[in-house]
Chains A and B, each alone.
Chain A
Amino acid sequence: SQELEQSPQSLIVQEGKNLTINCTSSKTLYGLYWYKQKYGEGLIFLMMLQKGGEEKSHEKITAKLDEKKQQSSLHITASQPSHAGIYLCGAGRSGNTPLVFGKGTRLSVIA
């Protein structure tokens, strides 16, 4: 079965700093999703990557999927307190299968 490993498990950054979160899969990724979760709440969809080498950006968040489609990174530029939360990567084995998730990366942004 597919497994996703996220690193780091937790991250504390000073406001204004850049940061990167990684997600590594044990198998080739069909579709890779990034979600953000506030503690104890539902998941907010950020981005989905499907093609090797694909890169997407939304506001100050950029996600990339490597050429071999086994690793993705999420990069936040000039972090703000509003970026704080748990970032989860999820992957589907094919088009309409449910997602397997990593354990998440807990991000804290301090002033």
Chain B
Amino acid sequence: RKEVEQDPGPFNVPEGATVAFNCTYSNSASQSFFWYRQDCRKEPKLLMSVYSSGNEDGRFTAQLNRASQYISLLIRDSKLSDSATYLCVVNIGGTDKLIFGTGTRLQVFP
């Protein structure tokens, strides 16, 4: 089983739609969780960290479920500019390393 697994998509949604991605992780010692965004042929950029109590940043909501070992990202009122690949990223506790998922591709159409 991969350490971090994501549905590769693509998720094709119309503008204004709500879309959610899940990501599962295998190591129960995982401590820190992130969503990064990567545009085509560009570098990844931090979208948001994921906190135990869940957190929101504008149209984006991230949640963590430690019992089931998954994190989620909800995007409301999708914009064309949200089209990108969303990377689920996990840090194993006690290490200096991040484990990246292969990404979920989102395409928002007019």
Say if A and B assemble together: no
